[in-house]
Every structure is written in C-alpha cells, then in structure tokens.
Amino acid sequence: MNETSEITLVDNPFIDTLTNWAGENAWIVQVFVVVFGVLLLNLIVRMLMNRLHRKLRANKTPWDDAVVDALRRPLGLLIWIVGIAFAADIVRSETGAPIFDAIGPIREVGVVTTLAWFLLRLTRNMPRNVIAQNRQREEPIDKTTVDAIGKLVSASIMITAALVMLQTLGFSISGVLAFGGIGGIAIGFAAKDLLANFFGGLMIYLDRPFSVGDWVRSDDREIEGTVEHIGWRLTRIRTFDKRPIYIPNGIFSTIAVVNPSRMTRRRIFETIGIRYDDVDRLPAILADIRQMLLDHPEIDTKQTLMVNFNSFGPSSLDFFIYTFTHTTVWTRFHEIKQDVLLKISDIITAHGAEIAYPTSTVHAPELERAVIHATQPG
C-alpha cells in the first residue's frame, strides 16, 4: 500500500513579520549593505596600502614611498565620504527629507578637502625628499630655497581649495575676491607689522642673504650666531653660547647683515713690535717671515701677502703681516693663525731679537744730580 505524506508548511509569525518589514523597508537594508561595504572596502584598502608602504620602504627612491604615505589616510576618508553620501542618497529617495538636499554639496566639498589634504601631506614631505635625493646624487642644494618652495606650494593648495569649496557652496568667486580686496586694505593697516615680517621672510627666500646653517652677524643689533630656522614671520638664530634669538623678518630690511659662512678666504692681519735695539735686524726678520708665509701650505699665496715695517711705536718698531688662509672654517683658521704667530716668534728669536713690550723712560734731573752727588767721594 502506498501512503502519500503531505508536508504542510506551518506559518511562522516571526518570519512573516521579518519578510513584511524587509519588503516595506528595503532601503534600510540597502543602507546597511552600503555602510558594511564601505567598512569592508576601507579595511581592504588599508591593508593593501600598509603592505605597499612596507614594500616601497626598501626602495631607494623616496618619492613613491612619499606618495603612498601621503595617500593612505586621505584615501580612507574619501571612501567614507563617497559611501556615506551614497547611503544618504538612498535615504533621501525614500524619505524625501529636505535636509538631505545638502548631500551633494557636502560630498563635493569633502572630495575637494580630501584631495587638498593629500596634496598638503605630499608637499610637507617634499623638502625632505628633495634633500635626500640630492644627497644620494651628492649634489649641492639650498635647503632654504626648497623649504620656501614647499611653503609656497602649500599656500597655493590651501587658497585654491578654499576658492573651489566656496564656488561649490554657491558663493560668487568674484564677490569673494572683491570683498577680499576691500578687507585686505583694512587688514593691511591693522596688521602692518605682521605683513612686514611676512614680506621680509619672502625677501629672505628670494634674495637669500643667508640660509639655514649659516653663521651671520649684524653689528647694528648685536646679532651673531647660526641660523636654525627661517619662517614666514620669525627667523631663529642660535648664538655661540647656545641661546636662541627670535628675530622678526621685517628687521632684516633695516639692518646690515654679514655672512661669514660665505667668505672664500680668511684673513690674518696682525701687528707685531720688536725692540728699538733690534733695528739692524729688522730687514732680515721681515724677509724670513715673508718666506715662511710663502712656504706655508695653509697660506693662499695667490691672494695679497704683505710683510712690511709699519711705524715707530712708543716702545717698539711695529711691522704687520697681511695674508689669507685657504680654509674658511673658524676653528681650523685659528689653528693656522697660532702656527704662523709661533713661527714668527721663532724667527725673531733666531735673529737674536726680542718682541717688545710696553716700557716707559722717566727723566728726573734732580734725582740724577742727587745720585751723582751721593756717589762722589768726600
């Protein structure tokens, strides 16, 4: 006997309720799927970027590593902006709420902001990468110029991004520029010192009277030290006793600045005196000193070299030496100068002469007569 079994589907109230709810609120499921997909995509992109960053770090070229490093965080933000905007469009199409009308401009502003953020991060690493690349090639480069170009590019990116965002939000660019011109005049009067420092920094970048690392000196303001940083408003100089000096850039347009770091030679200019008793030995001493300077390996004989009798001093016959060294390094220069002066002392001693020291001759006629009278017999 064949028995037929009938399978009867028993209605489940929970499943029916869920099915009905999903049918009526399908857009919520779509929003959930979009958000989950954005989260998953962001995770995958982050893993890929980290792996790519580790792989490129071993490369000697700094630029590809810099691009990946600058792109990692802005790319994640861009994924979220586009994904959330897409989910908001789904909600707007279902609910029709007026607040979601701003999704389009907000998305465009977000994209512009993300792009500007990426370019600023890339520009921030540009000076370091350029300097590193030139060091690999063993080519000289001006750090101050590279830093100035990086700051100008960053300022251009921020201004351009601000204008594009204003245009996206419906503002008239011509009106904004006109208002900026009128407001700029008022700001110029109110912040003239700030603007003076800004343009002073710009002139430093363009004229380049000194760079980071240079030793500078100004007798007008008693400034002397090594330049550590050149900003748009201030320049930081480290004195030789390790004190920092912060100088507004506008001051440099009103003072004279000496840059010893850019000298091509260092000068030895010294005056030396011998006794009047050694006047007969003076010509031979001068000749030997001159020959010693000509034979010295650290003296640049192609420059001016003078060894001459100069004047009759109060207690000495004064002559001077005037010559230049090959080196411009301050510590090495003083070592050479010390060696030259000690050799001059040896030459003077070798001729039986002596370096003069201040003496005074006192004429006392009455004392002389008293001494003579005391020494006479009877």
pLDDT tens-place string over residues 31-89? 777 788 888 888 888 888 878 777 766 666 666 677 777 888 888 888 888 888 887 87
Q: Which residue has the higher pLDDT, 258 or 72?
A: 258
Bridge partner residues of 246 (DSSP): 236
pLDDT of residue 18: 46
pLDDT at 306 > cutoff 90? yes
* Percentage with pLDDT > 70 across the chain: 72
Q: What Å distances lie between residue 90 and 19, 105, 129, 157, CA to CA?
A: 20, 16, 44, 33
Report the pLDDT value the prediction gives residue 373, as an integer from 0 to 100. 64
Instruction: Look at residue 187 in the predicted model and tell me its pLDDT.
Output: 56
DSSP 308: E
The stretch 222-250 carries a mean pLDDT of 88
Taking Cα atoms as reference points, which of 269, 363, 352, 285 lies closest to residue 317?
285
Cα 307 to Cα 321: distance, rounded to the nearest angstrom: 5
State the Cα–Cα distance between residues 378 and 366, nearest whole angstrom.
Answer: 20
Structure tokens at 98: 């007026």
Residue 360 — very low, low, confident or very high, per pLDDT cuts 50/70/90? Answer: low
Q: Is 258 helix (H, G, I), strand (E, B) or coil?
A: strand
Residues 6+ apart with CB under 8 A from 107: 81, 82, 85
Per-residue confidence at 299, pLDDT binned at 50, 70, 90?
very high
Q: At residue 225, does pLDDT exceed 80? A: yes
Kindly report, residue by residue over 138-193, the tens digit of the pLDDT. Answer: 655 566 667 777 777 888 888 888 888 887 777 776 665 665 555 555 555 545 66
- The secondary structure element, H or E, covering residue 38 is helix 26-57
Is pLDDT of 98 > 70? yes
pLDDT at 131: 65
Residue 93 falls in which region: left (phi positive, over 0), alpha (psi -120 to 50) or beta: alpha
* Average pLDDT, integer, range 285-291: 95
Whole-number Å distance between alpha carbons of 214 and 207 = 15
Whether 97 shows a pLDDT value over 90: the answer reads: no
Could you give the CA distance from residue 299 to residue 294 in angstroms, rounded to a whole number?
A: 7
Task: Say how far apart CA 200 and CA 184 lie, in whole Å.
Answer: 18
Pick among 2.30.30.60, 2.40.50.100, 3.30.830.10, 3.40.50.12780: CATH of 209-261:
2.30.30.60
Determine the residue type at 370.
Answer: A
Task: Return the CATH fold of 263-350.
Answer: Alpha-Beta Plaits (3.30.70)
To the nearest whole number, what is the mean pLDDT of the chain? 79
Phi-psi region for residue 213, left (φ > 0), alpha (ψ -120 to 50) or beta? Answer: left
Radius of gyration of the chain (CA): 41
CA gap 356, 354 in Å, rounded: 6
Q: What's the mean pLDDT in 214-229?
A: 88
Select the more confidently predicted residue: 31 or 109: 109
Tell me how crowded residue 163 is: count the other CB atoms within 10 A of its CB: 15
Residue 369 has pLDDT above 70, yes or no: no
In whole angstroms, what is the distance from residue 316 CA to residue 239 CA?
Answer: 38
- CA distances (Å), 163 to each of 124, 177, 180, in order? 21, 9, 12
Rounded to whole angstroms, the Cα distance separating 276 from 353 reads 10
